[in-house]
Amino acid sequence: QVQLQESGPGLVRPSGTLSLVCDVSKLSSTYYWVWIRQPPGKGLEWIGCIYQSGDTYYNPSLESRLMISVDRAKNLLSMQLNSVTAADTAVYFCTRRDSGAYGDWFDPWGQGTLVTVSS
C-alpha cells in the first residue's frame, strides 16, 4: 500500500511563497497525484493534480499562483503557491487519484500539514 507524507514550513509570511513536498513511497506513473486543502474548521478544496506525462490540472481559483511538479527519481510530489494571503491558511493534503468505470476517487491520503500565513 502506497504511503504519503507531507512536509512544509508551517508558517509563511503574507505575499510569500508556500512550498510543500509530499514523500510518496511508490510514485507510480499510472496515477494522478493530487493536492487538496482544508482551512481550519471548513471543508475540502481541490487544489490540482499532475499526471505521468507532466500534464497538470489546476483549480481555476488558484491557477495563476500555483505550480505542481513531480520528481520521480526522489518519489516527491511538490507544490508552490505564490503571493499567499491569510485565506491560504489551511491543512494541505496530498493524495492519489484512482479511477475506474465508475469515476474517480482519492485514496490513500497523507496525514496533512498545517500551513499558517501570518506576519
CB of 13 to another protein, least distance (A): 26
2 binds another protein (CB under 8 A): no
Based on CB atoms, which residue is closest to another protein, 8 or 46? 46
CB of 22 to another protein, least distance (A): 12
User: Amino acid identity, residue 75?
Assistant: N
Based on CB atoms, which residue is closest to another protein, 70 or 96? 96
Q: How many angstroms separate the CA atoms of 69 and 19, rounded?
A: 11
CB of 92 to another protein, least distance (A): 11
**What φ, ψ does residue 64 adopt, rounded to 5°?**
-70, -15
List, in sequence order, every residue forming a beta bridge with 50; answer none if it has no partner.
33, 56
**Cα 50 to chain centroid, rounded:** 10
Query: Within positions 66 to 95, which residues make up the interface with another protein, using CB under 8 A?
Result: 93, 95
Using only the alpha carbons of the chain, give its radius of gyration: 14
CB of 37 to another protein, least distance (A): 11
Query: Within positions 11 to 70, which residues make up the interface with another protein, using CB under 8 A?
Result: 43-46, 57, 59-61
**Cα 49 to chain centroid, rounded:** 7
Place of cell 499562483: 65
Site residues (vs another protein, CB under 8 A): 43-46, 57, 59-61, 93, 95, 97-107, 109-112
